[in-house]
């Protein structure tokens, strides 16, 4: 089975998969869960200029989304959990057992540091007696000297604050999870207080390295919608994945008919989608007219994980310039791609001024190829009003007004 799509059909397929075109596919709290199960994880980033990345990802596709709803799923319902997947991420709590191998790596790494075990015991005893804690509240004195200590969340050389380091180590080993966040401050609690025992104690469902990597590659294909067998940021943090075994995995997935190849007219690369998405492929081949939506897309949205692919399919070049020196930025530090219908038409830089409850739109840059119309302006106005409401802003102000 091999499908051929036009460029427009390929774009519409990806957007339908993500619920970013036509009528909303995802609604309310259940819609959040459905979407996260579909993509496997959404990337977390603590920067909050006009919403954090995870919130921005969900507001563009989940009708009725609020920041509180996501917080409830994470810290009340505990159906979602903060964990490391594609970088810092939010995953379904039910997926916890699949990441046991990385917690074991962290445990083994911790054994290399003299005195760490004692500090871990002190921290766990304190939390057991006093409840959740942040690094600023945990009474561990001094610093830890890391000498090429490596576990899944990173590596260190030098010294770091003992309380913060111990909490992060215990988080990496799965002894602690995030109880909640307050701004950028993290509060930790015992995982046993919040995650069901049957999930915490479940063995790794895929102890074989190849099967584990295959599961994660398939998951990432589902997260983006269409992917190619090329180096990509979409594969980040899949431990052990190299070009050779990635090719073996793609062949295995093809042989088992778990993924299907897709050719896009005018492009030499072959793309792949999950076999369960064949109905969407066949739908876009019918060329039905889809209701266009105007949406602001998160900088680290899973839809944008492979920016070379986005450039190839959508003709849209995007760089997140937050770490680019100001004098070298082409646009703004925190710009959001602007989607209209099946086209990425530009980018928007907006800031939530919380004290005045004002959404300040600093700039809007349209692509040169975009012809602005009254209908487009109306849709943009509606999009910005929804975005202001999402940020709990009562007013929209354009820079220079």
Tell me the C-alpha distance between 334 and 254, whole Å: 39
Residue 5 predicted with pLDDT over 60: yes
Residue 337 predicted with pLDDT over 90: yes
252-310 per-position pLDDT tens digit: 999 999 999 999 999 999 999 999 999 999 999 999 999 999 999 999 999 999 999 99
Do residues 36 and 70 make contact, with C-beta atoms less than 8 angstroms apart?
Answer: no
Q: Give CA torsion, residues 38, 30, 72, 200, to 10 deg.
A: -50
Residue 150 predicted with pLDDT over 60: no
In this prediction, residue 143 has a pLDDT band, given cuts at 50, 70 and 90, of low
In this prediction, residue 145 has a pLDDT band, given cuts at 50, 70 and 90, of low
Residue 41 predicted with pLDDT over 80: yes
Average pLDDT rounded to a whole number, residues 167-186 = 95
- The pLDDT assigned to 372 comes to 87
Handedness of CA 349, 370, 221, 231 (dihedral sign): negative
Count of CB atoms within 10 A of residue 20's CB?
Answer: 21
Token pair 């006093």 is at which residue?
130
- The pLDDT assigned to 140 comes to 85
Instruction: Pull the structure tokens for residue 258.
Output: 């778990």
In this prediction, residue 400 has a pLDDT band, given cuts at 50, 70 and 90, of low
- Walk me through the domains of the chain, giving residue ranges and CATH numbers: 1-46+207-401 (no CATH), 97-194 (1.10.10)
Tell me the C-alpha distance between 261 and 230, whole Å: 14
Residue 80 predicted with pLDDT over 70: yes
Which of residues 1 and 385 earns the better pLDDT score?
385
- The pLDDT assigned to 195 comes to 97
Tell me the C-alpha distance between 85 and 216, whole Å: 9
Tell me the C-alpha distance between 163 and 13, whole Å: 47
Tell me the C-alpha distance between 188 and 99, whole Å: 19
Tell me the C-alpha distance between 258 and 276, whole Å: 8
Radius of gyration of the chain (CA): 22
Which stretch of 154-158, 238-242, 287-291, 305-309 has the lowest confidence by average pLDDT?
A: 154-158
Instruction: Pull the structure tokens for residue 48.
Output: 């909050």
Average pLDDT rounded to a whole number, residues 82-99 = 96
Instruction: Pull the structure tokens for residue 96.
Output: 């916890």
Cβ neighbours of residue 164 under 8 Å, at least 6 residues apart? 135
Report helix, strand or coil for 14: helix
Measured in residues, the chain has a length of 401
Percent of the chain with pLDDT over 70: 95
What letter would DSSP give residue 75? Answer: H
Average pLDDT rounded to a whole number, residues 359-376 = 95
Element (H, E) at 380: helix 374-390
Question: pTM, whole model, 2 decimals?
Answer: 0.94
262 bridge partner residues:
3, 271
Which stretch of 109-113, 243-247, 287-291, 325-329 has the lowest confidence by average pLDDT?
A: 109-113
Residue 142 predicted with pLDDT over 70: no
Residue 219 predicted with pLDDT over 80: yes
Instruction: Pull the structure tokens for residue 1.
Output: 């089975």
Element (H, E) at 29: helix 28-39
- The pLDDT assigned to 365 comes to 97
Residue 152 predicted with pLDDT over 60: no
- The pLDDT assigned to 113 comes to 83
In this prediction, residue 162 has a pLDDT band, given cuts at 50, 70 and 90, of confident
Backbone angles phi, psi at 399, to 5 degrees: -55, 130
Report helix, strand or coil for 85: strand
Percent of the chain with pLDDT over 90: 90
Backbone angles phi, psi at 151, to 5 degrees: -140, -175
- The pLDDT assigned to 115 comes to 83
Token pair 């994660």 is at which residue?
216
Instruction: Pull the structure tokens for residue 88.
Output: 């810092």
In this prediction, residue 37 has a pLDDT band, given cuts at 50, 70 and 90, of very high
- The pLDDT assigned to 146 comes to 55
Query: What is the chain's mean pLDDT, rounded?
Result: 94
């Amino acid at each position: 089975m091999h499908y051929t799509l036009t460029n427009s059909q390929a774009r519409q397929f990806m957007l339908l998969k993500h619920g970013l075109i036509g009528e909303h596919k995802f609604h309310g709290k259940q819609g959040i869960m459905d979407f996260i199960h579909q993509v496997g994880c959404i990337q977390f980033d603590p920067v909050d200029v006009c919403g954090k990345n995870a919130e921005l990802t969900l507001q563009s596709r989940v009708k009725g989304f609020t920041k509180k709803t996501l917080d409830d799923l994470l810290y009340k319902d505990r159906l979602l959990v903060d964990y490391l997947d594609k970088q810092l991420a939010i995953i379904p709590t039910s997926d916890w057992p699949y990441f046991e191998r990385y917690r074991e790596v962290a445990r083994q790494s911790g054994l290399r540091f003299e005195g760490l075990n004692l500090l871990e015991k002190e921290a766990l005893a304190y939390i057991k007696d006093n409840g959740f804690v942040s690094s600023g509240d945990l009474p561990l004195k001094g610093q830890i000297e890391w000498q090429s200590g490596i576990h899944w969340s990173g590596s260190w050389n030098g010294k770091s604050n003992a309380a913060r380091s111990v909490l992060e180590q215990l988080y990496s080993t799965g002894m602690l999870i995030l109880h909640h966040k307050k701004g950028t401050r993290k509060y930790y609690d015992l995982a046993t207080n919040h995650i069901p025992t049957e999930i915490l104690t479940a063995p790794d469902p895929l102890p074989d390295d190849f099967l584990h990597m295959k599961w994660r590659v398939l998951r990432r294909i589902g997260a983006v919608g269409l992917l190619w067998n090329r180096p990509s940021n979409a594969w980040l943090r899949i431990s052990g994945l190299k070009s050779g075994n990635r090719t073996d995995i793609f062949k295995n997935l093809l042989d088992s008919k778990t993924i299907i190849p897709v050719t896009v007219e005018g492009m030499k690369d072959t793309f792949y989608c999950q076999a369960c998405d064949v109905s969407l492929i066949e739908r876009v081949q019918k060329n039905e007219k889809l209701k266009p939506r105007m949406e602001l897309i998160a900088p680290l949205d899973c839809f944008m994980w492979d920016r070379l692919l986005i450039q190839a399919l959508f003709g849209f070049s995007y760089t997140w310039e937050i770490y680019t020196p100001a004098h070298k930025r082409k646009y703004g530090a925190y710009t959001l791609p602007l989607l209209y219908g099946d086209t990425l038409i530009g980018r928007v830089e907006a800031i939530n001024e919380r004290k005045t409850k004002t959404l300040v739109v600093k700039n809007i840059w349209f692509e040169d190829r975009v012809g602005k119309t009254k209908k487009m302006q109306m849709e943009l106005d509606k999009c910005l009003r929804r975005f202001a409401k999402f940020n709990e802003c009562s007013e929209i102000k354009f820079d220079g007004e």
